[in-house]
Amino acid sequence: MAKIKTKLKATTILESMVAMVIAVVCLSIGTMVIVNVLNSDKGYPSLKADLLLNSISNKLKNEKTFIDGEERIENLLIKKTFEKYADTENLLQMTLQVIDENNKPIFERKELILQE
């Protein structure tokens, strides 16, 4: 068997493992940052729709106008539906839905209303 006369520079398994752990941590942090940036644009339209439905819900309950219909506010379509809830006489389920100009639902709110 022949002997190798020159020494080769090599890394140990421990050094290789440390380097891989550092690379994986950096990649995972970078991935989390990218995902958070991409998802951050969904927050504003959803929050705006929630606040809009909150004010519409309060208005409908104060005026006691429980009639199905649609309403356009700015570039959003608000659908209002009312139906009796689970075989009860005095409970209505109000469903308010916000739809954008592309007919994509942004936010939906369901609420029980006690009729007097």
Give the model's pLDDT for residue 42. 64
Which sequence spans correspond to the domains of the chain? 42-114
Q: What is the mean pLDDT of each run of 10 residues along the chain (116 residues)?
A: 72 90 96 84 78 92 90 91 88 93 90 87
User: Whole-angstrom Cα distance, residue 91 to residue 83?
Assistant: 9
Q: Which two tokens stand for residue 11?
A: 């890394």
- What CATH code is assigned to 42-114? 2.20.25
pTM for this prediction: 0.61
Beta strands, E only, 22-104: 69-73, 76-84, 91-99
- Nearest Cα neighbor of 71 from 52, 84, 58 is 52
The length of the chain is 116
